[in-house]
A and B are shown apart, each in its own frame.
Chain A
Amino acid sequence: MTGRAGKVDRAGFSEIMTDEQVVGLVQAGETRHFAQLVRRHQDAVFGMAQRFTGNAGDAQDVAQEVFLRAYRSLDGFKGEARFSTWLYRICYNLCVDWARKRRRPGAKSLPIEEAAEIADSRENPEHAYIASEDRARVREAVEGLEERYRSVIMLLYYQRFSYERIAEILEIPLKTVETRLYRARKKLREAMRNIL
């Protein structure tokens, strides 16, 4: 997520602006420009929501709430962190809250078939219909991890965030991210020993 785009839309709004510049417009009362921010970050937010909630319906509700909450709190955004980091932090916190309140014990985060349907067939067409047994087992093992380990694994592998970005989103030191990843993967390897 670079927070940038390279074309000009029909409304004549320059999409070359950074997220922070667009935020400035919205803060000045130009609400319509918030759509630009939603457009840029919808996949990351929705993806994160779906990984945590386990189904597209709940993910849409959570993702929508993330953007709505971001809009409501936009006046409080001072630009100390990148907008995307701030937004993903809201998303992560809402996902964790959602999981704590509503997730059924033993529920899977994402059914394979559903994941395959939603997968980006434009970028990875071969991935769209791959439903390997191993992947299901891996997903199940990730599901079994404690929250603090599961979140770093999800953010690193499913959301493709860097270690540094994960540290920013979770507001923990980089060293803690490394430690959690080390322990998470160790637990996963133990769980997956039979199939890998």
Chain B
Amino acid sequence: MSAQQRMGFFTDTSVCIGCKACEVACKEWNDVPEDGLEFTGQSYDNTGELGASTWRHVAFVEQGSADDMDFRWLMSSDVCKHCTSAACLEVCPTGALFRTEFGTVVVQPDVCNGCGYCVAACPFGVIDRREEDGRAWKCTLCYDRLKDGLEPACAKACPTDSIQFGELEDLRVRAQGRVEELQADGVAEARLYGDDPSDGVGGFGAFFLLLDDPEVYGLPPDPVSTTRDLPDLWKHTALAAGALVAGVAAALVGRSR
């Protein structure tokens, strides 16, 4: 048997029909509670954002005026990015957050102590604490299903294959082909988001094909792991501290003279 490859999602928003089957399938499989019966008025999106009780979120973006022929209604299913450099995991003091054999990032609810460091650390605002129990929750990329050789519930339920699950390397190749296909069809604005291993989080384990700038979908244009600069910071701190010690020592030495 070959070594386990890193698994992930490629969400091709160009074929998302906004049915929200991913949201429902996710909640059914993972037993995620209802997240409020509120009419938001944000187009057809009454979910709002990802959170402790919403692990898939379909955004609806109405663009332009109906009078112009370029009116667009963009739909996109957002999810935890399962970052290569996952700040949530790095700041977790209890080890509740860990990287699985599939390269995904998962919280163990029985270990999480609810400190909330991960919530502040996530550059996308994905992970969140549930008010009722204080613990942090997010997409597990259906870790239990993966262990049984099944694809995640959202990908399984998606009728148009907007959500594709597979080996990350394969997905990146497939996604590149899809972008080229769309661009050849005149969809010049098609682009990938999160597929680049040299970005601020080392590339996403769950990346996207978008039809506009990430900000349009409520996504950060250039996400950076909040822990990326920590080693540098510590180095600077150490230098500063060293300088301080040297200064003080020099002063003392001087005085003693």
Whether both chains belong to one complex is answered with no
